Structure 1
């Protein structure tokens, strides 16, 4: 029954995404004929006769359903249509962009795996997590900022590598590093957090007692850890392809993400449809490959039963660490809130940090500290709201795994930037549209986590005893199931807060989120990119704030997780006799 429900939900969500793309000109409320006319000829007057001619040429006069049906019919024949702007076939443009993005994804994924291995190696040696906070800070480094710094240092100052274009393998190096470092931090954190619990399992102790080498134990522990995490690796690969729009923009790489962004801005519907469809199919194929790799890693003995990891146990965190990070962020944001973020002083533009301007000024002479503080409400506040919404949706869908699985496949196949492009094309750029875009695809990991916990709690012996003595389903749900599920999933959601904030910052950097002069952190990074060489403090301030937010989330979750384990263990310890 569940595979049927999941398949129906998957097909329904796929149709909904394709239909939404096809109906974008009518959902946006803007006249696509005017946009296409300006793209074709900026000098031509937008008279009614000229607009009618464009509508007839594009088939817009036939209505949305007719245009969507015509495109779907051509799709079955392998025809993605003709570009509204250039008049060329869409399929070659999509194929070329996809080839570039796949090549970049492969090199970036290699960089990510190498970095993740370097972060995991100390955990294998010590047997305890020690790279979680550092890996989370790497994962929170904005790809577009890393790309800009790499372009400036390695391309402009040192002249080691080309700064734009796609002519040879040397053009891959800087974009791959910019994409691979944050992805490697994310993957390294996932593995480093899961390894300590695995290394404390009984079989590891037995192997050590039998004299098995450390290398063999480490290999077996990694094989034990990887199967449940393979889907996360697949999602990271999808993000490297569709989420590379900002990096492709910085380095002028003609990838599929940059193609989709350009098509959305020019309202070139056929090209946008083809690009989104290619990214969607790539995500679905990547998910299928990840599932196949997971089955191969499990082997035939565990393939049907599956294999669940014990709860992740990040390294112990002293309470002073999250308290210090929170204090630094709170004081900085609070200090910035006391200052005016919109006051322009051209005489003090690009001023270095000083007592008057502790974090310097930007290109218009506005105080960076003030804009950082006021931007926290837009960035962190919006991220917290999206995180809370994702938590509620994940908890609700955790009780409906059949429906959640099908919808999650489609949500996982669409990176935040691509959904942001679709939402911005329909509703226009803004903070609300960016938040909606991120919320639409940030719930699947939480729903999967909640579903696994619900299944585990429902199968526990104490619930069976409760049913036997006549406990009602509502009592069991509210007193046992929800309390057991909500805590771990809430800590999981907290760990995803920096990623959500980074996704919102990425949309702001691309002009799909908050608009000037709003002091949103992603927009601050975009505005400071032009003068990064002269005034790096304007870009470093929001970047460091994002990194501190990631470290705070990881250390706070580790500390609360440790306190939770102590509280659960305390009643049991009271009953254990102490030998003297």
Structure 2
């Protein structure tokens, strides 16, 4: 029964996604006929007869089922339809955009791997010296906290404007690749580096490492073995990072005017060219699924067809915890000070000189409309961080609930993991319009999936504990077993995992605001502040440094505070270890 249920869940999830994309013209709630009439026949009056003729030409009069059947049958034949705006076939332009985006994604992945390698070196050296330690990873945290669209703007300013080393816009040759690849790859590399450093530190506490070091194994061989032992445990998260590159590419392509899939899809959403939007969304989903599948194949190759034993928790020593405590308290106090000071000011009054620099009366300066940036950052924290906390809280509850139904939720979890929030934001924006609730819904629709996958894995591990296996024999029912003996063990790690995702959710909300898919002016939402300030970053860099610094503070405070949380022993620690051949005292092969 297991395989059919899981397979049915996956099939239902894929059909649901395909169905939503197929009926976008019907669900959008806008009169696409009017858009097409204005784009193609500017001299014709929008009479009911003219609109009816356009609807008949587009097939909109056939209803949602007819639209879905036509589109899906065309996709199966390789026909993605015709652009409503240009009247040209969609498939050739989409194929070219896919090639550009794939090239950019692979280049960004190369950058991310280099950055991750540099960040994991200190942890590897400490492990080989016999003093494994897990630090806060401040450099990695700051890199992760910088939005791709902000990095893209800064790199454009420094690399193209100030230094003149690279062309600023377009896609005409290899010279146009470095800046977009760096903007995408640096945050991804920071996250990969932190994950790998933590996994290496955890692996270094296993007995075989000391045995290898005492027996005279060289540092290169032991280091390679440590990496091989650590990689499978983080391969799933690496897959999420790689998939996330496709979402970040939307904003980066928009900043650098790269004619890739993200820019194509965003332009189609804003112009209501739904056939192009459908093709772009389909291509983004396929690209994300392909990248995620490639990572899954790599993970299976690393594991050799067996499940890797769980790594022990990487607990930092006392000095590391003092540093974590200092960073967490410092970042939280500084952020609280900014928010409180900002809330006491008016975020909407244009009472100051345009782009006024920071001063005693204006600690963060003024924006292009003469509004106090300290006030806007403080009030924006309520919408940005408050919305992020609400989204994470809801996603945590959903993740714990669906984590208890792993086979039924298998399909939605895999689809949710494979779809970046920006892609969902494009769909939700096309259906509901741009707003803070729409952006929160878009991010929430995918942010629960990693938490559900984590909860499911922890529950399965906890069920293997000897004392849990014997409880049904003692008359403990399934509901009591789950609620009393399993969920309390699982809830702590999942909640800590959720806390680590607060900065990422805040960044996703900011990215949607930057792309015009979230809050609308004059809202002080941080993504909108970054979008408004990016046009003036050369003349007035404080317009972007203020909201960007606030995002970094949120990330540092969340990551540092999470590392201080007490780890309670896992139920599965008492379970017999399932040893993989070649892993244990003798090392990972």
1:419 aligns with 2:421: no
Which residue number corresponds to residue 313 of structure 2? 311
Measure, in 2, the Cα distance between the counterparts of 1:178 and 1:287.
Answer: 21
d(CA) in 2 for partners of 1:312 and 1:91? 49
SS at match of 1:79: coil
Structure 1, 125-134 or 498-507: larger mean CA deviation? 125-134
Measured in 2, the distance between the counterparts of 1:235 and 1:93 equals 28
Stretch deviating more after TM superposition (350-359 or 403-412): 403-412
Q: Alpha carbons of 1:71 and 1:565: their partners in 2 closer, same or farther (altered >3 Å)?
A: closer
Q: Tell me if the contact between 2:342 and 2:379 (Cα under 8 Å) persists in the aligned partners.
A: yes
Following TM superposition, by how much is the alpha carbon of 1:21 offset from its aligned partner in structure 2, in angstroms?
1.8
- SS of structure 1 residue aligned to 2:321: coil
Q: Report the equivalent of 1:215.
A: 220
Shift of 1:430: 0.5
Change (3 A) 1:356 1:215: same
Out of 548, 551, 555, which is 1:546 matched to? 551
For the Cα contact (< 8 Å) 1:25–1:426, is it kept in 2? no
Partner residue of 1:461 out of 458, 466, 473: 466
Give the distance between the partners of 1:174 and 1:252, measured in 2 at CA.
Answer: 12
* 1:369 alignment partner, one of 359, 371, 374: 374
Aligned twin of 2:434: 429
Q: Paired residue for 2:509? A: 504
Moved more, 237-246 or 113-122: 237-246
Q: CA deviation at 1:131?
A: 5.3
CA contact (8 A) 1:142 1:182 kept: yes
Matches within 5 A, 1:91-240: 91-126=91-126, 127-130=132-135, 132-240=137-245
Counterpart of 1:325 in structure 2 is 331
Kept after mapping to 1: 8 A contact 2:28/2:432:
yes
Report what 1:488 is aligned to.
Answer: 493
Specify the alignment match of 1:51 in structure 2: 51
Partner of 1:380: 385
The match for 1:573 is none
Q: After TM superposition, give the deviation of residue 48 of structure 1 in Å.
A: 2.4
Provide the rounded CA distance (Å) in 2 between the counterparts of 1:271 and 1:257: 11
Deviations 1:393-436 (A, max 9, x none): 11111111112222122112211111000001001110111111
Task: State how far apart, in whole Å, the 2-side matches of 1:194 and 1:155 are.
Answer: 38
Q: Indicate the SS of the match to 1:254.
A: coil
Q: Where does residue 30 of structure 1 map in the other structure? A: 30
What CA distance in whole angstroms lies between the structure 2 residues aligned with 1:378 and 1:202?
48
Report what 2:540 is aligned to.
535
Per the alignment, in what secondary structure is the counterpart of residue 523 of structure 2? coil
For the residue of structure 1 that corresponds to 2:106, the secondary structure is helix
> 1:328, CA displacement in angstroms?
0.6
Name the counterpart of 2:577.
none
8 A contact 1:131–1:192 mirrored in 2 = no
**Cα gap change, 1:243 to 1:6, in 2 (>3 Å):** farther
Q: Is the CA contact 2:14–2:411 (under 8 Å) kept in the aligned structure 1?
A: no
Q: Using a 3 Å threshold, how does the CA distance of structure 1 residues 305 and 124 change in structure 2: closer, same or farther? A: closer
Unaligned segments of structure 1, at least 5 residues? 570-580
What's the CA shift for 1:461?
A: 1.7
Given that 1:282 and 1:413 are in contact with CA atoms closer than 8 Å, whether structure 2 keeps it comes out as no
Report how many aligned residue pairs link the two structures.
563
In the alignment, is the contact (CA less than 8 A) between 1:84 and 1:269 conserved in 2? yes
Relative to 1, partners in 2 of residues 1:314 and 1:155: Cα closer, same or farther, differing over 3 Å?
Answer: farther
Give distance in 1, aligned partners of 2:39 and 2:157: 32
Shift of 1:217: 1.3
Other-structure match for 1:19: 19
Q: Judging changes above 3 Å, is the alpha-carbon distance between structure 1 residues 405 and 313 closer, same or farther for their aligned structure 2 residues?
A: farther
CA distance in 2, matches of 1:325, 1:77: 55
Quick one: distance in 1 between partners of 2:183 and 2:152? 5
Q: Match for 2:350 among 344, 352, 360? A: 344
Residue 261 (structure 2) aligns with: 256
Matched, 1:515 2:520: yes
Task: Give the drift of 1:4.
Answer: 2.4
1-structure distance, mates of 2:69, 2:448? 31
User: Could you report, residue by residue, the CA deviation over 1:213-243 in whole angstroms, capped at 9, with x for unpaired residues?
Assistant: 2221111111111113223222222221233
Distance 2:243 2:36 in 1: 31
CA contact (8 A) 2:119 2:140 kept: yes
Instruction: Give me the whole-angstrom Cα distance separating, in 2, the residues matched to 1:504 and 1:197.
Output: 32
CA 1:474–1:65: 2 relative to 1, 3 Å: closer
Q: Is the 8 A contact 1:283 1:412 kept in 2?
A: no
Q: Secondary structure at the match of 1:349?
A: coil
Separation in structure 2 between the aligned mates of residue 91 and residue 174 of structure 1, nearest angstrom: 28
Mapped partners of 1:44, 1:284: distance in 2: 43
Q: Deviations over 1:525-554 (max 9, x none)?
A: 000011111111110111111111111111
Distance 1:28 1:547 in 2: 36
- Deviates further, 185-194 or 224-233: 224-233
CA separation in 2, counterparts of 1:223 and 1:43?
Answer: 66
Aligned equivalent of 1:575: none
